């Protein structure tokens, strides 16, 4: 069964909102560090330092989540969203409601975790 377009739209909106939230939060963290006086230069150097600071500030779980969001958004763009990346079977809407980032169907995910 193919996913309904409006369902995908709903998930996409959710993912984009979550991504924006997280990005804003992470930028806040980075700005805090920057205003602590770690970065004083302007221009490209400051920018790259900011990115470095940002990356250093990130918790691994946050990086993981951002990656999952980006991957899910990419699959939506490619029209591959909701299809298991392992077996190619559709992932149920019920599962996607609970785990919008899910890239695998329940059986493949369970097989992977064993
Ligand atoms: Zn599967």
Contact predicate 76/12, CB 8 Å: yes
Long-range contact pairs involving 25-34 (C-beta distance under 8 Å, separation at least 24)? 26/54, 26/57, 26/58, 26/62, 27/54, 29/54, 29/57, 29/58, 30/54, 30/57, 33/57
Phi-psi category of residue 42: left, alpha or beta, with phi > 0 → left and psi -120 to 50 → alpha? beta
What global pTM score does this model have? Answer: 0.72
pLDDT, one tens digit for every residue, the chain (114 residues) = 578 899 999 999 999 999 999 888 878 877 776 666 555 555 666 666 666 766 666 667 788 888 999 999 999 999 999 999 999 999 999 999 999 999 999 999 999 998
Rounded to the nearest angstrom, the distance between the alpha carbon of 112 and the centre of ligand 1 is 10
Sequence length of the chain is: 114
How confident is the model at residue 79, as a pLDDT? 93
Rounded to the nearest angstrom, the distance between the alpha carbon of 68 and the centre of ligand 1 is 17
Rounded to the nearest angstrom, the distance between the alpha carbon of 38 and the centre of ligand 1 is 47
- Using DSSP's 3-state secondary structure scheme, residue 83 falls into strand
């Amino acid at each position: 069964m193919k996913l309904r377009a409006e369902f995908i739209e709903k998930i996409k909106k959710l993912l984009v909102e979550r991504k924006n939230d997280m990005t804003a939060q992470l930028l806040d963290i980075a700005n805090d560090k920057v205003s602590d006086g770690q970065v004083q230069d302007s221009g490209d150097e400051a920018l790259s330092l900011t990115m470095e600071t940002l990356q250093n500030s990130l918790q691994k779980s946050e990086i993981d989540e951002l990656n999952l969001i980006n991957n899910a958004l990419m699959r939506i763009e490619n029209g591959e969203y909701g299809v298991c990346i392992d077996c190619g079977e559709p992932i149920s809407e019920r599962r996607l409601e609970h785990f919008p980032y899910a890239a695998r169907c329940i059986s493949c995910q369970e097989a992977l975790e064993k």
